[in-house]
Each structure stands twice: as C-alpha cells, then as structure tokens.
Amino acid sequence: MAQVTLRDVKKVYDGKVVAVRDVNLTIGDGEFLVLVGPSGCGKSTTLRMIAGLEAITEGTISIGDRVVNDVHPKDRDIAMVFQNYALYPHMSVEKNMAFGLQLRRLPREEIKRRVTETAGLLGIGELLNRRPKQLSGGQRQRVALGRAIVRDASVFLFDEPLSNLDAKLRVTTRTEIKKLHKRLRTTTVYVTHDQEEAMTLGDRIVVMSAGRGVGVIEQVDTPLNVYRYPKNRFVGAFLGRTPMNFFDGRLVEAEGEVWFVAGPEDAPSIRLAMLPKHTEALRGRVGAEVTLGLRPSSLSEHPMGKETAAHSTIRSQVQVVEPLGKNIDVSCELPDGSPMLARIDARHDFPTSGEVKFYVDMEHVHLFEPGEFGASLLHPEGAPQNETATLASGA
Amino acid sequence: MSDRSPIEAATGPLAKLARPATFVALVLLGISFVVPFVWQVLISLSDRSEVDRLTETGFPSRISLDAYVRVFDQVPFAKYFFNSFFVAGWVTLLQVITCSMAAYAFSRIQWPGRDKVFLLYLGTLMVPGVVLMVPNFVVILGLGMFDDYTGLIIPAAFSAYGTFLLRQFMLTIPSSLDEAAAIDGAGHWRIFTQVILPLARPGLIVLAIFAFLFNYNSFFWPLILTQSENLRVLPVGLLQFNTTYGSDVPAIMAAALMAMIPPIILFLLLQKYLVKGIQLGAVKG
C-alpha cells in the first residue's frame, strides 16, 4: 500500500494543447479517490500519468516516497482496469490473470494459488479455462478486476471500468467494487464521468472541468461535502441526480435582511430572504448580479422548517408532473417564464396543473457569482472546517 | 400464382433475364480461364512430333508420359524444385520476422519522426523494381553474394509492402492491450512476442503466403544472379528447355504443370487468408 502524491502536475500534448494543469492531490494510503468530470476535463489523462502511460510535462508524481516521473509503468507497482477491459484475447482467463505474475517470475505454485484464490473471491472460478470472447460483459469485467487484484499491487487505477456495462449490472458491480475495496484497502484512483458512481464509490471525489479550455480541479472533498457545499456553479450543476435550478437575479437589502430578487422590480418572480447568519457576508454584495442555485429537493409544498410564507416561497405554474415512486418530479414555470424543477415527496397527491406555492429550504440554497464558473458566495472555500469527513473512510 | 417471394416477384422482366445472363457470362469467363490449362495438360501428354498438329486434331492420338520423364532426365528438375522451396522458404521466414518487427516499431512505439520515416519507407514501393535491378546487382556483386543462395535470399528478406500490410493489421489491435501488458510488467520485446504477434497471426499468414508465392514465381532476379546449374530455381530452370534442347514444348508444359502444383495446394489450403489479405490491402490501405 502507498500514498500517491501529485504536485503541480501539468500535461501538454504536442507542445501546444494543454490537457490538464495545476493538479495537486494527495491520495491517502488505502483511500478510494474518484476523479469525476465531463469528457475532456483531463481526468483520464491524470490517471494515465499516474500509471505511467503518459509522460508528465511538468510537476511530480510520487507513489510512496518515490518520485515516479521517469519510472516505467511496470516498475510503479500499480494495477489498472481499463474501460474496454483490455483482456488478452488469445489467452484463457487463467493465463490473463497469471500473465503479470509470470513476468514477475513468481513460482508456479504461488501463481496457481493466487489465481485460484482471486478467482474464488470474484466468483469466476469456473471460467478459468475460457477465452475472453466466450464471456459476457459482466464476466469480462470481473476477469479484468481479477487481473488487477491478483497482482497485489500497492495502487489500483480504474479507468471508467463500468461504462460498458448495462445499467443494472453497473449498479451491482459498483457495490462489489466498494466491497472489494473495503476488504483489500488498497489505495485506489477511479475515473468516471458518472457523478452518481463518483458519489457512491469515493471516500473523496475530485470534480474536474474543462470549461476554461484546460482541464483543472474544481473541488476535492467527501461526496456529501461537495454535494452540500459546491465551491462554484459548475460543481453545483455537475453533482446531483437531478440538475440544480439556476436563476439570475440580484441582492437587495430591505427590512434589515438581504434578499435575493429575480424578475422585474415591481413584480419579482422570486423574492427570498437569505438566512440571518449570511447577512454579514452578503451585505457587501448588495446591488450585485448573482445566480441562485436551488436543488429540486430543496423545494417542498409544505414548510420544512422555520420557513415562512413571506420570506421563503416561490410561486409557479405546474406544467408536467412525473411520479417516480418515492418522489414526484414537478416541472413548472415562474411568472417570468423561467423553468424550475422540484422533487417532492410522493406521500401526498399533487395537482397536475394550476398555481402552486413551493417552500424553499433556505439552509440549502446556493448563491454564485454570474457565469458558468461563478464562485459560491456562501461557501467560497467549500465545506466549513468542522463539517469535513462526513461518512468518510468508514474506518 | 407464383410461389416466389414478394421481393423476387416484384422485379421486372429485365431483372428476370439478369440472372441467366450473369450465369452465362460467368461460365464463359470460367471457360476462358480453364481452357489454357486444359490445353497445357493435353500438350504435356502428347508426343513431341505431334505438337504442331494438335491445333487441328484437338486431342493427342496417343497419351504418353514421356515428356514428364524427359523433364527429370534432361535437367536436374528435383534440384530446381529444392532451390525454389529453399529460397522462397527462407525469404518468407525472414520477411515475416523483419516486417513484423518493423511494423511493430511503426505502429506501437512512439518515436520522433516515425510517420515521416514510414512514408519514406512506403515511398520505395513507388520505385519500379527494374530501376533498382542494376544497382542491386552491383551491390550484391560487391558483397560477394553473386551466384550464391545468400544473393537470392538476403535482398528479398525485407519488404516495404509486407511492413505496410502488417502495420495496417497491427493498428487494428487496441493500444490498451500494450498498456495492460506494460503495467503487467512486460517490455517491448514481451509485448511484441507474447501479445501483438499472436494477435497478428492472420496478418502474418497473409504476408507469408504473398511472400512465398512472389518469390516462388520470381524469375528475373535469379536469372541474372545465378550462373551455376545447381543454383537455378524453377522459373529459370524452365528456360533450359528452350535453349539447350531446342523447343521441347511438351517437356516445358509438363515442367510448368509440376511447378504449379505447390502454389495451387497452398491456395486451396489458405484461400480464406488470401482473400482477407487482399481486403486488408484494399480497404484499409
């Protein structure tokens, strides 16, 4: 096992295209870290640099206390699972798993023992004599996992390993990967573009973006902290199963409180009083353009806490109602025409048309500076110090 | 009512004629391919004195295998056979080795200027072989390989075409396999021998067939490079019947027929690979 450290890592292709820059990460011994972001954000490039499959243009990468910038992949003591599995098509499952061990000149009995043990662990014992072509997608995935595990490497690297599986298998395999990690406690770096996969798997997640033309890290924290305290609008929009609602508006001061107002002066479509604890921080921003971020789950047709109708409600016209079982998704339209999605509890019936008043959970609203990467005004540094590491590591 | 499927029934009167017409055209084409061979067999089975009249009679009056016996009596035909197999066999083996290694370097290893060097390498295919004949001859002479097996084998041991063919084939093998092998602990040599070569097997077989056939049939280079009788390969050997013993047409036909047997067997056995190889060059080239 080992800690992996990236310091000021930068990758430039062909001397001109900057793929990623300013990558600073410390992946703790035994930690499960997920790199997540839309395509082109440099998450795979970062992983491949750790693996040694891409050269590093600037910066240093260390595994344990050894700088590995110029170390060949085979000498980095890593194992990797590829998106397309990369199983050797001409070898049996057993040989696929044994290949790495043979190259490391382990005794034959030891190889046999390890392969059998790992195959047992993954439930692929009866497939050992088959060729990859004769396996289903899920089975290939397991063999690829087995080939990585059997090596007993100090770092596991996963490059979108579930994206070729169907939705159901993806969820079950996800759980199994998590179980395996709990059991083996090997330092793991996992790349995915799926925010749900990232949230469920990672001890910590790294949200990356390519919005400014270069891949950079936007935020690093535990899944719940990133979800609750996005540092900027991009992170807020990227995480969460249903997309966050955004409304452009401005801050005004009235009745001793700071209000978010959107829409025309005389008939605003949204008028929300920010919580008193934020008043100090926001006072300096009064008059400025800001964007309100509202998760669909922060809306309710009943008051959720101390909200009062005058200070924390939004009126809207219901357009479409989609029952999902436990929840109902309500698509509606504000008086100024902007759309809004609410995810409410399905215990109560909900009107399928007409005007509805939603209560807003003001504890969980977000304010951002304008623009796609506008910084958060309420939590510019992410989670407050005393709230880190919720649900982390499970240790 | 017709019992034909709706698709067939829907076709017009012209389409009805198309099928028999195609059939007739194919039969005619087939005949035009087969007739020369039949003619060749007939000549090889006839008496030397009867050859001139065969165009009138159409069939030899007496079937005789004399011509086949003469082939072995008058020239060291078995030795020609051996030489052809020996030279083509070695060339094939060496080409498969050199071309696959070059193809690996051109397809799996990143090095500065790689694609430019490859283009240059491919460019040699544009130079007609005849142009290089004299320079090559001078070089071989200088190296002391004239009138020697090495002179027949070494110059043909490398092939830009073969390199191109295998490179195209290797490009279809996903690069994640090399990467997985590299992480598993393999260097280039192991990746080449244990991962890429086994997967490139169909490509290697295609190249082997092409290389063998081409060199088995090669005539001009062995002709100018060999003097001694015991170095002659089959195509050069066939020439002997024209010069030394006048024109013994039945013997020439008999010898040519026998020389054709190995390529035909090769073709029948490896037909599917040959077709694949032609597609490789055509579609992906």
How many Å apart are CA A41 and CA A19, to the nearest integer? 8
Q: CB neighbours (10 Å) of residue A91?
A: 17
How many Å apart are CA A303 and CA A315, to the nearest integer? 14
Domain B66-283: which topology? MetI-like fold (1.10.3720)
Q: What percent of chain B has pLDDT over 70?
A: 91
Domain A4-232: which topology? Rossmann fold (3.40.50)
Give me the pLDDT at residue A118, please.
93
Q: Whole-model pTM?
A: 0.82
Could you report the per-residue pLDDT of B203-240, keeping only the tens digit for each?
A: 999 899 889 999 999 998 999 998 888 889 999 888 88
Provide CB contacts within 8 A for A43, sequence distance 6+: A35, A36, A37, A191, A193, A206, A208, A215
Is A104 in CB contact (< 8 Å) with chain B? yes
Q: Which of B179, B190, B198 sits opposite A53 (nearest CB)?
A: B179
Chain A CB contacts of B176 below 8 Å? 82-84, 86
- Domain boundaries defined on chain A: 4-232, 245-381
- Is B285's pLDDT higher than 50? no
- Pair A232, A368: CB distance under 8 Å: yes
Give me the pLDDT at residue A15, please.
84
Could you report the per-residue pLDDT of B114-173, keeping only the tens digit for each?
A: 999 999 999 988 988 888 889 999 999 999 999 999 999 999 999 999 999 999 999 999
Q: What is the CA radius of gyration of chain A?
A: 25
Q: What are phi and psi of A292, to 5 degrees?
A: -90, 130
Q: Do B181 and A99 touch (CB under 8 A)?
A: yes
Q: State the smallest CA–CA distance between residue B124 and chain A in angstroms.
A: 29
- Domain boundaries defined on chain B: 6-57, 66-283
- Is B15's pLDDT higher than 90? no
Q: State the smallest CA–CA distance between residue B174 and chain A in angstroms.
A: 8
The answer to whether A4-232 and A245-381 have equal CATH topology is no
Q: Does domain A245-381 have CATH number 3.40.50.620?
A: no
In this prediction, residue B1 has a pLDDT band, given cuts at 50, 70 and 90, of very low
Q: Do B180 and A80 touch (CB under 8 A)?
A: yes
Q: Which residue of chain B comes nearest to A83, CA vs CA?
A: B176
Q: Which of A245-254, B50-59, B236-245 has the lowest mean pLDDT?
A: B236-245
Give me the pLDDT at residue A222, please.
95
Q: State the smallest CA–CA distance between residue A120 and chain B in angstroms.
A: 21
- Is B270's pLDDT higher than 90? no
Give me the pLDDT at residue A1, please.
60
Q: Mean pLDDT for each 10-residue chunk of chain A (395 residues)?
A: 91 90 94 94 95 94 94 93 93 95 94 94 92 92 93 94 89 91 94 94 95 89 94 93 92 89 87 88 89 93 68 90 90 91 86 89 92 90 67 40
Is A111 in CB contact (< 8 Å) with chain B? no
